[in-house]
Amino acid sequence: MIKTTLVGGAIAAALASAVPLAASAQEFTPDQPECIAPAAAGGGWDFTCRQVARILRETELIDGSMRVQNLSGGGGGVAYAEVVNKRNDENDLIVAASTATATRLAQGAFPGNTMDEVRWLGTIGADYGVIGVRPDSEIEDLPQLMSALQNNPRDISIGGGSASGGWDHLKVLIAAQEAGIEDLRAIKYVAFAGGGEAISQLLAGSLQAYSGDLSEAMGFVESGDLRVLAVLAPERLEGDFSEFPTAAEQGLDVVGANWRGFYGPGEMSEEAYDWWVSQLDTMYASEEWKAVMEQNGLADLDLHGEEFNEFVAESVSDIEEISREIGLVQ
């Protein structure tokens, strides 16, 4: 039986024991800071870049503003290849990453690329998974969705902002297996360039359900365009998120925490690497970033530098094991 707790050993341990990195002064400062969001606007990677760019500016951790570039394709693979092959020695560049990135690396979906070809800088929190439907959907809860997938899999299309076999797809498959569905390959998953596009297609009627993360879903929940069937957290969240039922309280023991963070080019200078690690760590500790986390339901996950590199390596290993047991990789 596979691990139904997607937090896994790596992220569970990190959530419990992460220790902030001491900030240190660095001589390096970027001339033209840039963040690549490896998906279209409206998704989790776009959220990561734009929110971090805003807080870095507001806290004066960067001079001026940071350019955000959306570079979608291949579940993050286009951006990864761009950095590794064309921009591998740039010091002003960071790239949004998440468990979705680790998933694609674990499944060998970035041809010829490994996690060791970039520098892993730090996290900015963890984002719990969400499965939702249109407000007018006849599907009332997660068990009813799983029953529909079991009985009429051809009639149910689920979309997300990760590639086929990626993180949003994987969450659905593990929930389905926990529900006792044996033919996981019959489940129809539709990949989009970002979570925003997936929700747009849900509203257009092309999809019957959506798989994504809380931070990218909240705007659509607040606008009345998305109804959450389940948040994949170990227990109900607090505050504005307390109305969302967990999968566990509906009888499906599935927890899915999507870490969010950044990598940089593999050949960036040590001075640049240390500067970005330090600035992200300082930003994470700021009151401004704590407010962003609270507003968007991000869980605490504070890892930077070598500690983050070790964490990513363990995440890749855990997801590779899960993917093999489900049959996504050989």
Q: Which pLDDT score is estimated for 3?
A: 43
Q: How far is CA 11 from the centre of its chain?
A: 13
Domains of the chain: 8-127+257-326 (3.40.190.150), 131-250 (3.40.190.10)
Measure the CA–CA gap between 156 and 299, rounded to whole angstroms.
Answer: 31
Measure the CA–CA gap between 330 and 183, rounded to whole angstroms.
Answer: 17
For residue 2, give both structure tokens: 């596979």
**β partners of residue 230:** 131
Measure the CA–CA gap between 127 and 130, rounded to whole angstroms.
Answer: 9
Residue 134: how many CA atoms within 13 Å on its side-chain side? 15
Q: Is the pTM higher than 0.85?
A: no
Low pLDDT (below 50) residues in the chain = 1-5, 7-9, 16, 19-25
Q: Express each pLDDT in 30-64 by its tens digit.
A: 999 999 999 989 889 999 999 999 999 999 999 99
> In angstroms, what is the C-alpha Rg of the chain?
19
For residues 244 and 236, the answer to whether their CB atoms sit within 8 Å is yes
Measure the CA–CA gap between 173 and 277, rounded to whole angstroms.
Answer: 35
Query: What string of DSSP letters covers 132-161?
Result: EE-TT-S--SHHHHHHHHHH-GGG-EEEES
Q: Which pLDDT score is estimated for 42?
A: 85
Question: β-pairing, 188-191 with 157-160?
Answer: parallel
Q: What angle do CA 312, 313, 317 make, to 5 degrees?
A: 115
Q: Express each pLDDT in 72-89 by its tens digit.
A: 998 899 999 999 999 999
For residue 204, give both structure tokens: 């257009």
Give phi and psi for 167, each to the nearest 5: -60, -45
Q: Which pLDDT score is estimated for 75?
A: 87
Q: How many CB atoms lie within 10 A of CB 305?
A: 19
Give phi and psi for 252, each to the nearest 5: -120, 110
Q: Which pLDDT score is estimated for 19?
A: 47
Measure the CA–CA gap between 114 and 24, rounded to whole angstroms.
Answer: 29
